[in-house]
Amino acid sequence: MKIIKESLSSKFQMKDLGQLHFCLGIKAEFKDTSVKLHQKHYIQQILEKYDMSDCKSVATPFATDIQLVKDDGSKSVDHTLYQSIVGCLLYTSTATRLDIAHSVGVLSKFNSMPTKTHLTAAKRVLRYLKGTMDYGITFNKTDTQPVGYLDANWAENDESRH
């Protein structure tokens, strides 16, 4: 690690501020053999920004009985507000909260013409985050290789089958 720091400092102006604690809304908590990255503080800021600090939490980010479609017949909403919420959720999902990635991907399809139904679904994800603020990603020191799973069910989309 020292060699890397010396190499970087010879090419760039930099300071060694010690071990990482907080960067770009992500908190790093180090233990003996692991590091946990989470965004509890950032999620609290999002909830305050959208006046949802006192909302009730829900157990899942997306309701299973609702299929979001482009024109659902409900009233259109302020697209700037909707896009702002989805943008905050997108940053959260790509940084430490992979559990909301699918929901955010679905919500982002409606950025150009969101309706009340879409906004309600976005606020549900915020309600889910309210109850799971302490979730994050923990990296443990191990010799095993990571394993990932994927369930690509594109036929579920009735509008385009994409």
Model confidence pLDDT, tens digit, residues 112-144: 999 999 999 999 999 999 999 999 999 888 777
**44 found inside a domain:** yes
How many domains in the chain?
1
Q: Give domain status of residue 104, yes or no.
A: yes
Task: Please report, as a single letter, which amino acid is at residue 87.
Answer: G
Q: How far, in whole angstroms, is CA 125 from its chain's centroid?
A: 9
Nearest Cα to Cα of residue 74 among 24, 121, 21 = 121
Give 157's pLDDT tier (boundaries 50, 70, 90).
low
pLDDT at residue 158 greater than cutoff 70: no
- The answer as to whether 14 is a domain residue is no
The pLDDT score that the predictor gives to residue 118 is 94
Residue span of the structural domain in which 74 resides? 19-138
Residue 102 falls inside a structural domain: yes
- 119 within a domain of the structure (yes/no): yes
Looking at the predicted structure, is the pLDDT value of residue 153 above 70? no
Q: Taking residues 76-97, what's their average pLDDT?
A: 95
Q: Which two tokens stand for residue 46?
A: 């999002």
pLDDT of residue 156: 63
Within a domain: 24: yes
Q: What is the pLDDT of residue 131?
A: 96
